[in-house]
Amino acid sequence: MFEEFLSNGSLAAVLLMVYTGNVMMEALRRDRLDPRGINSPLIIKHPVSALFMFASIPCAIWPAIYIGLYSGWVAGVISWFVLQIVGAIATIVLGMRGPALGFHSWIHRITAACIVFPTGYYLSVSSLLA
């Protein structure tokens, strides 16, 4: 079912966008829970972060559309469900929800997400156009 995507698509693009989507959704969740920024990193409150968070919204659906363009709409729907589940499990395993848990701090997570989501978009669009 996913042979066409695996042979012609970019798995790195999908992984980068899923990572970004999960980090940004968790940042938005933290922003809603802590509106004054007392227990959240201040990078979440910065206006530029809001722009990056808004620009990363398509990271929730674009990987599934991207896979679907290669392997059909059924594969796209299945991959969306699988990516949502895997992303949620990765969020828990990597400790993105716990305070000071995980393999890197919140500042590093958000900075990395701001860097990799345009890279994910670029890899996906360039492989479609090639």
Average pLDDT over residues 48-71: 89
Residue in the structure block whose two tokens are 């929730």 = 60
Distance between CA 20 and CA 44 in Å, rounded? 14
Q: What percent of the chain has pLDDT over 90?
A: 33
Write down the pTM of the prediction: 0.82
Residue in the structure block whose two tokens are 């895997």 = 86
Every domain of the chain and the residues it spans: 10-129
Residues 98-119: tens digit of each pLDDT: 554 444 566 777 888 888 889 9
Distance between CA 65 and CA 113 in Å, rounded? 20
Under 8 Å between Cβ of 8 and 127: yes
Smallest CA-to-CA distance from 128 within 75, 60, 71 is with: 71
Range with lowest mean pLDDT among 1-5, 9-13, 20-24, 91-95: 91-95
Q: What is the pLDDT of residue 102?
A: 43
Q: Is 101 exposed, middle or buried (0-12, 13-18, 19+ CB in 10 A)?
A: exposed
Q: What is the pLDDT of residue 11?
A: 93
